[in-house]
Amino acid sequence: MKWEDQSKLSELRDVLDKLKKEGSVILVEGSQDKKSLRNLGVTNEIVKLSENSKAFFEITEQIAEKYDNAIILTDWDAHGEKLSSKIHKLLQKNGVTPNDWYRRKLKAMLLKEISDVESLYTYLGKQEKEKDRI
């Protein structure tokens, strides 16, 4: 494993560790995204957007009842971009501060390798194995 890859792996671990320490609800697209985050040790409340029978406005209203801040962690593909933008606006309308820093950071770090949250756990596992082989 190249030094750049080791540095990237370390930075990815740092980002995920920071996410685990957040007290905010995390908004993801679906079950596989939630499963990936749980496998990575994230214990925050996670709300699935795309597999929810409620309208996005209802979801953001319910979040506003419990939280002042919400982390938007949709995929970094075209669909995820649109969804992130829509949810960002709805959260703000409901008085919730949207946080998309993690999404933007992961996208910048991993765009060439993966494009979705559900792949994070598998990707990190492969990188860890590669590192251990050295």
Asked whether residue 133 is assigned to any structural domain, the reply reads no
> How confident is the prediction along the chain (134 residues), in pLDDT tens digits per residue?
464 668 888 999 999 999 999 989 999 999 999 999 999 999 999 999 987 778 999 999 999 999 999 999 999 999 999 999 999 999 999 999 999 999 999 999 998 999 999 999 999 999 888 777 65
Q: What are phi and psi of 47, to 5 degrees?
A: -110, 125
Q: Could you list the residue range(s) of the whole structural domain that residue 84 is in?
A: 3-124
CATH number assigned to the domain comprising residue 65? 3.40.1360.10
Domains in the chain, number? 1
pLDDT of residue 15: 96
Q: What is the pTM of this model?
A: 0.91
Asked whether residue 129 is assigned to any structural domain, the reply reads no
Asked whether residue 131 is assigned to any structural domain, the reply reads no
Asked whether residue 83 is assigned to any structural domain, the reply reads yes
